[in-house]
Structure 1
Amino acid sequence: MTDSIDRISLATRLRNNFLTGLIICAPMAITIYLTWTFIHWADSWVKPYLPDRYNPEAYLKFAVPGTGLLIAILFITLVGFLGRNLIGRSIVSYSENILNRMPLVRTVYKSTKQIFETVLKEQGNSFKKVGLIEFPRAGTWALVFVSTDAKGEIAAKLNANGEEMVAVFLAPTPVPTAGFLMFVPRSKLMLLDMTPEEGVKLLISAGLVTPEHKPNLADAMTAFADLPAEDEAVSVKTSKAR
Protein backbone atom coordinates (compact mmCIF):
# COMPACT_ATOMS: atom_id res chain seq x y z
CA MET A 1 0.00 0.00 0.00
CA THR A 2 2.81 2.36 0.92
CA ASP A 3 4.68 1.50 -2.28
CA SER A 4 1.65 2.33 -4.44
CA ILE A 5 1.20 5.67 -2.66
CA ASP A 6 4.90 6.44 -3.18
CA ARG A 7 4.61 5.61 -6.88
CA ILE A 8 1.57 7.88 -7.24
CA SER A 9 3.35 10.66 -5.39
CA LEU A 10 6.43 10.24 -7.58
CA ALA A 11 4.32 10.35 -10.75
CA THR A 12 2.57 13.49 -9.50
CA ARG A 13 5.87 15.18 -8.76
CA LEU A 14 7.26 14.24 -12.17
CA ARG A 15 4.15 15.58 -13.88
CA ASN A 16 4.29 18.85 -11.92
CA ASN A 17 7.99 19.22 -12.70
CA PHE A 18 7.30 18.63 -16.39
CA LEU A 19 4.50 21.20 -16.48
CA THR A 20 6.67 23.73 -14.64
CA GLY A 21 9.50 23.16 -17.08
CA LEU A 22 7.08 23.51 -19.99
CA ILE A 23 5.81 26.83 -18.66
CA ILE A 24 9.40 28.06 -18.39
CA CYS A 25 10.78 26.70 -21.66
CA ALA A 26 7.84 27.15 -24.05
CA PRO A 27 7.62 30.98 -23.92
CA MET A 28 11.41 31.27 -24.21
CA ALA A 29 11.54 28.89 -27.18
CA ILE A 30 8.66 30.63 -28.96
CA THR A 31 10.22 34.06 -28.37
CA ILE A 32 13.61 32.93 -29.68
CA TYR A 33 12.00 31.26 -32.71
CA LEU A 34 9.92 34.33 -33.62
CA THR A 35 12.90 36.67 -33.14
CA TRP A 36 15.16 34.45 -35.24
CA THR A 37 12.52 34.16 -37.96
CA PHE A 38 12.05 37.94 -38.06
CA ILE A 39 15.80 38.52 -38.35
CA HIS A 40 16.10 36.07 -41.23
CA TRP A 41 13.05 37.64 -42.92
CA ALA A 42 14.64 41.10 -42.72
CA ASP A 43 17.97 39.74 -43.99
CA SER A 44 16.26 38.07 -46.96
CA TRP A 45 14.77 41.42 -48.00
CA VAL A 46 17.85 43.62 -47.52
CA LYS A 47 20.92 41.47 -48.29
CA PRO A 48 20.11 40.82 -51.99
CA TYR A 49 20.30 44.58 -52.63
CA LEU A 50 23.45 45.10 -50.56
CA PRO A 51 26.69 45.53 -52.57
CA ASP A 52 29.39 42.98 -51.82
CA ARG A 53 31.84 45.60 -50.61
CA TYR A 54 29.39 46.61 -47.85
CA ASN A 55 28.37 43.06 -46.98
CA PRO A 56 30.40 41.62 -44.05
CA GLU A 57 29.77 38.10 -45.30
CA ALA A 58 31.92 38.87 -48.36
CA TYR A 59 34.95 39.18 -46.08
CA LEU A 60 34.04 36.54 -43.53
CA LYS A 61 33.69 32.80 -43.97
CA PHE A 62 30.43 32.59 -42.02
CA ALA A 63 27.03 34.23 -42.15
CA VAL A 64 26.28 37.21 -39.93
CA PRO A 65 22.58 37.12 -39.03
CA GLY A 66 20.98 40.48 -38.35
CA THR A 67 23.05 42.48 -40.83
CA GLY A 68 20.07 43.19 -43.04
CA LEU A 69 17.92 44.15 -40.06
CA LEU A 70 20.59 46.54 -38.75
CA ILE A 71 21.01 48.17 -42.16
CA ALA A 72 17.24 48.51 -42.53
CA ILE A 73 17.01 50.25 -39.14
CA LEU A 74 19.85 52.62 -40.05
CA PHE A 75 18.29 53.35 -43.46
CA ILE A 76 14.85 54.08 -41.99
CA THR A 77 16.41 56.32 -39.33
CA LEU A 78 18.37 58.20 -42.01
CA VAL A 79 15.23 58.69 -44.11
CA GLY A 80 13.42 60.01 -41.04
CA PHE A 81 16.28 62.43 -40.33
CA LEU A 82 16.26 63.72 -43.91
CA GLY A 83 12.47 63.96 -43.91
CA ARG A 84 12.54 66.41 -40.99
CA ASN A 85 14.57 69.11 -42.79
CA LEU A 86 13.62 71.38 -45.67
CA ILE A 87 15.33 69.44 -48.45
CA GLY A 88 13.96 66.12 -47.24
CA ARG A 89 10.42 67.48 -46.95
CA SER A 90 10.66 68.81 -50.51
CA ILE A 91 11.74 65.40 -51.80
CA VAL A 92 8.98 63.64 -49.85
CA SER A 93 6.39 66.13 -51.09
CA TYR A 94 7.53 65.66 -54.68
CA SER A 95 7.36 61.87 -54.33
CA GLU A 96 3.89 62.06 -52.78
CA ASN A 97 2.66 64.24 -55.66
CA ILE A 98 3.81 61.56 -58.10
CA LEU A 99 2.06 58.80 -56.14
CA ASN A 100 -1.13 60.86 -55.81
CA ARG A 101 -1.40 61.04 -59.60
CA MET A 102 -1.53 57.27 -59.99
CA PRO A 103 -5.16 56.05 -59.87
CA LEU A 104 -4.75 52.78 -57.95
CA VAL A 105 -1.49 53.49 -56.14
CA ARG A 106 -2.71 56.71 -54.51
CA THR A 107 -5.56 54.92 -52.74
CA VAL A 108 -3.23 52.32 -51.27
CA TYR A 109 -0.62 54.94 -50.33
CA LYS A 110 -3.06 57.32 -48.63
CA SER A 111 -4.73 54.54 -46.64
CA THR A 112 -1.41 53.03 -45.54
CA LYS A 113 0.05 56.40 -44.60
CA GLN A 114 -3.02 57.35 -42.58
CA ILE A 115 -2.89 54.06 -40.65
CA PHE A 116 0.81 54.45 -39.80
CA GLU A 117 0.40 58.10 -38.82
CA THR A 118 -2.49 57.23 -36.52
CA VAL A 119 -0.77 54.25 -34.88
CA LEU A 120 2.77 55.65 -34.60
CA LYS A 121 2.05 59.31 -33.91
CA GLU A 122 3.66 60.25 -30.61
CA GLN A 123 0.89 62.65 -29.60
CA GLY A 124 -1.88 60.24 -30.54
CA ASN A 125 -4.20 58.62 -28.05
CA SER A 126 -4.98 55.54 -30.14
CA PHE A 127 -5.28 52.28 -28.26
CA LYS A 128 -4.07 53.73 -24.98
CA LYS A 129 -7.16 52.69 -23.04
CA VAL A 130 -9.07 49.45 -22.58
CA GLY A 131 -12.76 49.20 -21.81
CA LEU A 132 -15.84 46.99 -21.69
CA ILE A 133 -19.04 47.25 -23.71
CA GLU A 134 -22.20 45.17 -23.60
CA PHE A 135 -21.86 42.84 -26.58
CA PRO A 136 -23.47 40.94 -28.26
CA ARG A 137 -26.44 41.60 -25.95
CA ALA A 138 -27.22 43.33 -22.70
CA GLY A 139 -25.72 41.59 -19.69
CA THR A 140 -22.69 40.16 -21.51
CA TRP A 141 -19.50 42.21 -21.73
CA ALA A 142 -16.71 42.26 -24.33
CA LEU A 143 -13.22 43.69 -24.04
CA VAL A 144 -12.47 46.55 -26.45
CA PHE A 145 -9.58 48.90 -27.17
CA VAL A 146 -10.51 52.57 -27.27
CA SER A 147 -9.38 54.18 -30.53
CA THR A 148 -10.57 57.79 -30.65
CA ASP A 149 -13.65 59.98 -30.57
CA ALA A 150 -15.97 59.86 -33.55
CA LYS A 151 -15.00 62.49 -36.11
CA GLY A 152 -16.12 63.88 -39.44
CA GLU A 153 -19.32 62.68 -41.03
CA ILE A 154 -19.72 59.83 -38.55
CA ALA A 155 -19.65 62.27 -35.64
CA ALA A 156 -22.12 64.56 -37.39
CA LYS A 157 -24.55 61.69 -37.98
CA LEU A 158 -24.21 59.84 -34.68
CA ASN A 159 -23.83 62.81 -32.33
CA ALA A 160 -27.04 64.39 -33.59
CA ASN A 161 -28.96 63.14 -30.54
CA GLY A 162 -26.48 64.79 -28.16
CA GLU A 163 -24.72 61.54 -27.14
CA GLU A 164 -20.96 61.60 -27.73
CA MET A 165 -19.75 58.54 -29.62
CA VAL A 166 -16.41 56.76 -29.29
CA ALA A 167 -14.63 54.48 -31.77
CA VAL A 168 -13.56 51.15 -30.26
CA PHE A 169 -11.88 48.07 -31.67
CA LEU A 170 -13.37 44.71 -30.72
CA ALA A 171 -10.72 42.03 -31.20
CA PRO A 172 -11.41 38.26 -31.25
CA THR A 173 -9.80 35.60 -29.08
CA PRO A 174 -7.14 34.19 -29.20
CA VAL A 175 -5.66 36.02 -32.23
CA PRO A 176 -6.43 39.74 -31.87
CA THR A 177 -5.19 40.69 -35.34
CA ALA A 178 -8.65 41.20 -36.86
CA GLY A 179 -11.91 42.38 -35.45
CA PHE A 180 -14.68 44.94 -35.62
CA LEU A 181 -14.60 48.73 -35.59
CA MET A 182 -17.58 49.87 -33.54
CA PHE A 183 -18.96 53.26 -32.52
CA VAL A 184 -20.56 53.22 -29.08
CA PRO A 185 -21.90 55.96 -26.80
CA ARG A 186 -19.37 57.13 -24.25
CA SER A 187 -21.89 56.44 -21.47
CA LYS A 188 -22.03 52.77 -22.54
CA LEU A 189 -18.25 52.37 -22.37
CA MET A 190 -16.75 51.17 -19.07
CA LEU A 191 -13.06 52.14 -18.95
CA LEU A 192 -10.59 49.81 -17.23
CA ASP A 193 -7.32 50.51 -15.41
CA MET A 194 -5.36 47.80 -17.28
CA THR A 195 -2.93 48.76 -20.03
CA PRO A 196 -3.44 47.75 -23.68
CA GLU A 197 -0.59 45.23 -23.30
CA GLU A 198 -2.40 43.60 -20.39
CA GLY A 199 -5.60 43.61 -22.43
CA VAL A 200 -3.87 41.78 -25.28
CA LYS A 201 -2.55 39.17 -22.83
CA LEU A 202 -6.06 38.71 -21.47
CA LEU A 203 -7.42 38.16 -24.98
CA ILE A 204 -4.69 35.81 -26.16
CA SER A 205 -4.97 33.66 -23.04
CA ALA A 206 -8.78 33.55 -23.31
CA GLY A 207 -9.10 35.04 -19.84
CA LEU A 208 -6.55 32.77 -18.15
CA VAL A 209 -3.93 35.51 -17.67
CA THR A 210 -5.74 38.21 -15.71
CA PRO A 211 -3.79 41.35 -14.77
CA GLU A 212 -3.60 42.21 -11.11
CA HIS A 213 -6.05 44.92 -10.14
CA LYS A 214 -4.84 47.64 -7.80
CA PRO A 215 -7.76 49.94 -6.96
CA ASN A 216 -6.94 53.61 -7.06
CA LEU A 217 -7.68 56.10 -4.30
CA ALA A 218 -11.01 57.15 -5.80
CA ASP A 219 -12.26 53.55 -5.88
CA ALA A 220 -11.12 52.99 -2.29
CA MET A 221 -12.92 56.13 -1.09
CA THR A 222 -16.06 55.09 -2.95
CA ALA A 223 -15.97 51.63 -1.39
CA PHE A 224 -15.45 53.17 2.06
CA ALA A 225 -18.37 55.55 1.53
CA ASP A 226 -20.63 52.61 0.64
CA LEU A 227 -19.92 50.84 3.97
CA PRO A 228 -22.78 50.75 6.49
CA ALA A 229 -22.49 52.99 9.54
CA GLU A 230 -21.88 50.00 11.86
CA ASP A 231 -18.98 48.78 9.71
CA GLU A 232 -17.44 52.26 9.78
CA ALA A 233 -17.71 52.39 13.58
CA VAL A 234 -16.09 48.97 13.87
CA SER A 235 -13.25 50.01 11.56
CA VAL A 236 -12.66 53.19 13.57
CA LYS A 237 -12.58 51.25 16.87
CA THR A 238 -10.17 48.74 15.37
CA SER A 239 -7.83 51.48 14.16
CA LYS A 240 -7.89 53.13 17.60
CA ALA A 241 -7.17 49.84 19.34
CA ARG A 242 -4.13 49.38 17.11
Structure 2
Amino acid sequence: MAAIRRWLLAGLLVLVPLAVTVWLLNWIIGTLDQTLQILPGDWHPDKLLGFHIPGFGVLLALAIVLSIGAVATNFLGKKLVSWWDALLSRIPIVRSIYSSVKQVSDTLFSENGNAFRKALLVQWPRAGVWTIGFQTGMPGGDVINHLQGEYLSVYVPTTPNPTGGYFVMLPKADCIELKMSVDEALTYVISMGV
Protein backbone atom coordinates (compact mmCIF):
# COMPACT_ATOMS: atom_id res chain seq x y z
CA MET A 1 0.00 0.00 0.00
CA ALA A 2 2.87 2.38 0.81
CA ALA A 3 4.42 1.74 -2.61
CA ILE A 4 1.15 2.58 -4.40
CA ARG A 5 0.87 5.81 -2.42
CA ARG A 6 4.49 6.72 -3.24
CA TRP A 7 3.92 5.98 -6.95
CA LEU A 8 0.73 8.02 -6.97
CA LEU A 9 2.50 11.02 -5.41
CA ALA A 10 5.47 10.65 -7.78
CA GLY A 11 3.11 10.48 -10.75
CA LEU A 12 1.26 13.59 -9.60
CA LEU A 13 4.53 15.44 -9.05
CA VAL A 14 5.48 14.69 -12.66
CA LEU A 15 2.09 15.15 -14.33
CA VAL A 16 0.61 18.20 -12.56
CA PRO A 17 3.38 20.67 -13.55
CA LEU A 18 3.41 19.21 -17.07
CA ALA A 19 -0.38 19.46 -17.41
CA VAL A 20 -0.47 23.03 -16.07
CA THR A 21 2.37 24.04 -18.42
CA VAL A 22 0.66 22.50 -21.46
CA TRP A 23 -2.68 24.08 -20.48
CA LEU A 24 -1.09 27.51 -19.95
CA LEU A 25 0.84 27.39 -23.24
CA ASN A 26 -2.31 26.25 -25.06
CA TRP A 27 -4.25 29.14 -23.52
CA ILE A 28 -1.54 31.70 -24.40
CA ILE A 29 -1.21 30.46 -28.00
CA GLY A 30 -5.01 30.32 -28.38
CA THR A 31 -5.37 33.84 -27.05
CA LEU A 32 -2.62 35.21 -29.28
CA ASP A 33 -4.08 33.38 -32.27
CA GLN A 34 -7.09 35.67 -31.83
CA THR A 35 -4.91 38.50 -33.18
CA LEU A 36 -5.40 36.91 -36.61
CA GLN A 37 -8.97 38.23 -36.49
CA ILE A 38 -7.64 41.73 -37.26
CA LEU A 39 -6.48 40.54 -40.69
CA PRO A 40 -8.85 40.69 -43.65
CA GLY A 41 -10.52 37.32 -44.31
CA ASP A 42 -8.54 36.63 -47.49
CA TRP A 43 -5.25 37.13 -45.63
CA HIS A 44 -5.87 34.55 -42.90
CA PRO A 45 -3.12 31.91 -42.96
CA ASP A 46 -5.76 29.16 -42.80
CA LYS A 47 -7.22 30.38 -46.09
CA LEU A 48 -3.88 31.03 -47.77
CA LEU A 49 -2.32 27.70 -46.77
CA GLY A 50 -5.46 25.60 -46.73
CA PHE A 51 -4.85 24.29 -43.20
CA HIS A 52 -4.56 25.64 -39.64
CA ILE A 53 -1.18 26.18 -37.99
CA PRO A 54 -1.49 26.88 -34.25
CA GLY A 55 0.74 29.72 -33.12
CA PHE A 56 0.54 31.91 -36.22
CA GLY A 57 -1.12 34.52 -34.02
CA VAL A 58 1.97 34.50 -31.79
CA LEU A 59 4.08 35.53 -34.79
CA LEU A 60 1.59 38.26 -35.71
CA ALA A 61 1.46 39.53 -32.11
CA LEU A 62 5.28 39.55 -31.97
CA ALA A 63 5.43 41.46 -35.28
CA ILE A 64 2.92 44.02 -33.95
CA VAL A 65 4.85 44.49 -30.69
CA LEU A 66 8.16 44.86 -32.57
CA SER A 67 6.62 47.37 -35.01
CA ILE A 68 5.15 49.45 -32.19
CA GLY A 69 8.51 49.29 -30.38
CA ALA A 70 10.36 50.46 -33.50
CA VAL A 71 7.97 53.39 -33.94
CA ALA A 72 7.98 54.28 -30.21
CA THR A 73 11.77 54.60 -30.08
CA ASN A 74 12.14 57.25 -32.77
CA PHE A 75 11.53 60.99 -32.30
CA LEU A 76 8.01 61.08 -33.72
CA GLY A 77 7.04 57.90 -31.86
CA LYS A 78 8.22 59.34 -28.54
CA LYS A 79 6.04 62.39 -29.15
CA LEU A 80 3.04 60.16 -29.95
CA VAL A 81 3.60 58.08 -26.79
CA SER A 82 3.90 61.26 -24.72
CA TRP A 83 0.68 62.61 -26.24
CA TRP A 84 -1.10 59.28 -25.60
CA ASP A 85 0.09 59.23 -21.95
CA ALA A 86 -1.15 62.80 -21.47
CA LEU A 87 -4.52 61.93 -22.99
CA LEU A 88 -5.02 58.86 -20.79
CA SER A 89 -3.93 60.77 -17.68
CA ARG A 90 -6.95 63.07 -18.12
CA ILE A 91 -9.57 60.30 -18.00
CA PRO A 92 -10.48 59.74 -14.31
CA ILE A 93 -10.87 55.94 -13.96
CA VAL A 94 -8.53 55.07 -16.82
CA ARG A 95 -5.83 57.34 -15.33
CA SER A 96 -5.43 55.31 -12.13
CA ILE A 97 -5.38 51.93 -13.90
CA TYR A 98 -3.12 53.04 -16.77
CA SER A 99 -0.59 54.85 -14.57
CA SER A 100 -0.29 51.86 -12.20
CA VAL A 101 0.21 49.37 -15.02
CA LYS A 102 2.64 51.75 -16.77
CA GLN A 103 4.77 52.13 -13.63
CA VAL A 104 4.99 48.37 -13.15
CA SER A 105 5.82 47.74 -16.81
CA ASP A 106 8.38 50.57 -16.85
CA THR A 107 10.07 48.93 -13.86
CA LEU A 108 9.93 45.35 -15.13
CA PHE A 109 10.88 46.11 -18.73
CA SER A 110 13.45 48.81 -17.99
CA GLU A 111 16.33 49.21 -20.46
CA ASN A 112 18.97 48.02 -17.99
CA GLY A 113 16.88 44.99 -17.01
CA ASN A 114 17.54 45.62 -13.33
CA ALA A 115 14.02 45.69 -11.94
CA PHE A 116 15.26 43.19 -9.35
CA ARG A 117 18.99 43.78 -8.93
CA LYS A 118 19.87 41.26 -6.20
CA ALA A 119 18.27 38.49 -4.19
CA LEU A 120 18.34 39.26 -0.48
CA LEU A 121 17.54 37.44 2.74
CA VAL A 122 15.57 39.79 4.98
CA GLN A 123 13.68 39.60 8.25
CA TRP A 124 10.02 40.10 7.41
CA PRO A 125 7.38 40.76 8.71
CA ARG A 126 9.18 40.79 12.08
CA ALA A 127 12.58 40.06 13.56
CA GLY A 128 13.42 36.36 13.58
CA VAL A 129 11.24 35.53 10.56
CA TRP A 130 13.25 35.35 7.34
CA THR A 131 12.15 35.57 3.73
CA ILE A 132 13.57 36.31 0.31
CA GLY A 133 13.32 39.85 -1.01
CA PHE A 134 14.65 41.60 -4.09
CA GLN A 135 16.63 44.82 -4.09
CA THR A 136 14.93 47.30 -6.40
CA GLY A 137 17.23 50.23 -5.72
CA MET A 138 17.87 52.83 -3.05
CA PRO A 139 15.23 55.04 -1.43
CA GLY A 140 14.92 58.40 -3.15
CA GLY A 141 12.95 61.60 -3.11
CA ASP A 142 12.00 63.09 0.24
CA VAL A 143 12.07 59.63 1.85
CA ILE A 144 15.87 59.64 2.00
CA ASN A 145 15.78 62.80 4.15
CA HIS A 146 13.90 60.95 6.89
CA LEU A 147 16.02 57.81 7.09
CA GLN A 148 19.12 57.53 9.26
CA GLY A 149 21.92 55.48 7.72
CA GLU A 150 22.07 53.46 4.53
CA TYR A 151 18.84 51.81 3.35
CA LEU A 152 17.81 49.58 0.46
CA SER A 153 14.50 49.52 -1.38
CA VAL A 154 13.29 45.92 -1.23
CA TYR A 155 10.36 44.13 -2.82
CA VAL A 156 9.12 41.20 -0.71
CA PRO A 157 6.97 38.93 -2.92
CA THR A 158 4.15 36.73 -1.72
CA THR A 159 3.98 33.01 -2.43
CA PRO A 160 3.06 31.36 -4.80
CA ASN A 161 2.10 34.46 -6.84
CA PRO A 162 5.05 36.88 -6.67
CA THR A 163 3.19 39.68 -8.48
CA GLY A 164 1.63 40.58 -5.14
CA GLY A 165 3.97 41.65 -2.40
CA TYR A 166 5.29 44.43 -0.22
CA PHE A 167 7.63 47.31 -0.96
CA VAL A 168 9.76 48.11 2.09
CA MET A 169 12.85 50.13 2.91
CA LEU A 170 15.24 48.22 5.13
CA PRO A 171 18.60 49.09 6.67
CA LYS A 172 21.35 47.75 4.43
CA ALA A 173 22.99 46.13 7.46
CA ASP A 174 19.85 44.01 8.00
CA CYS A 175 19.87 42.63 4.44
CA ILE A 176 21.96 39.60 3.54
CA GLU A 177 22.89 39.33 -0.14
CA LEU A 178 22.31 35.79 -1.37
CA LYS A 179 24.70 33.94 -3.66
CA MET A 180 21.88 32.97 -6.01
CA SER A 181 20.59 34.62 -9.14
CA VAL A 182 17.35 36.59 -9.12
CA ASP A 183 15.81 33.84 -11.30
CA GLU A 184 16.82 31.13 -8.83
CA ALA A 185 15.45 33.13 -5.91
CA LEU A 186 12.18 33.83 -7.73
CA THR A 187 11.81 30.13 -8.54
CA TYR A 188 12.45 29.34 -4.87
CA VAL A 189 9.70 31.77 -3.82
CA ILE A 190 7.18 30.51 -6.40
CA SER A 191 7.83 26.87 -5.45
CA MET A 192 7.35 27.76 -1.75
CA GLY A 193 10.87 26.66 -0.93
CA VAL A 194 10.70 23.25 -2.54
Normalised by the shorter chain, which TM-score bucket? 0.7 to 0.9
Distance in 1, matches of 2:125 and 2:91, equals 42
Q: Does the aligned pair in 1 maintain the 2:133–2:156 contact within 8 Å?
A: yes
Distance in 1, matches of 2:101 and 2:20, equals 30
2:159 pairs with one of 163, 173, 176: 173
Q: Hey, what does 2:17 align to over in structure 1? A: 27
Q: Structure 1 residue 141: deviation in Å? A: 1.2
Distance 1:154-1:54 versus aligned 2 partners, 3 A rule = farther
Distance 1:149-1:49 versus aligned 2 partners, 3 A rule = same
SS at match of 2:24: helix
Distance in 2, matches of 1:136 and 1:104, equals 33
In the alignment, structure 2 segments of 5+ residues that lack a partner are none
SS at match of 1:59: helix
2:28 is the counterpart of 1:38: yes
2:52 is the counterpart of 1:63: yes
Q: Hey, what does 1:78 align to over in structure 2? A: 67
Distance 1:57-1:136 versus aligned 2 partners, 3 A rule = same
2:137 is the counterpart of 1:151: no
Q: Hey, what does 2:170 align to over in structure 1? A: 184
CA distances 1:153-182 after superposition (whole Å, capped 9, x unpaired): 22222x2x2x12222122222332312211
Q: Hey, what does 1:198 align to over in structure 2? A: 184
CA distances 1:103-159 after superposition (whole Å, capped 9, x unpaired): 4433433332222111111225321311111223322212212222111122222x2
Identical counterparts, % of pairs:
32
CA distances 1:45-102 after superposition (whole Å, capped 9, x unpaired): x133222122112335543321222111101101111122223223323333333343
2:91 is the counterpart of 1:105: no
| Equivalent residue letter for 1:187 | A
Q: CA RMSD in A?
A: 2.5
Q: Structure 1 residue 38: deviation in Å? A: 0.8
Q: Does the aligned pair in 1 maintain the 2:36–2:60 contact within 8 Å?
A: no
1:114 pairs with one of 103, 112, 120: 103
SS at match of 1:168: strand
Q: Hey, what does 1:128 align to over in structure 2? A: 117
- Structure 2 length normalisation: TM-score? 0.84
SS at match of 1:118: helix
Distance in 2, matches of 1:207 and 1:99, equals 41
Q: Hey, what does 1:91 align to over in structure 2? A: 80
Q: Structure 1 residue 18: deviation in Å? A: 5.7
In the alignment, structure 1 segments of 5+ residues that lack a partner are 1-7, 209-242
Count residues with an aligned counterpart. 194
Q: Does the aligned pair in 2 maintain the 1:128–1:195 contact within 8 Å?
A: no
Whose relative contact order is higher, 1 or 2, with alpha carbons under 8 Å and at least 6 apart?
2
Distance 1:51-1:166 versus aligned 2 partners, 3 A rule = same
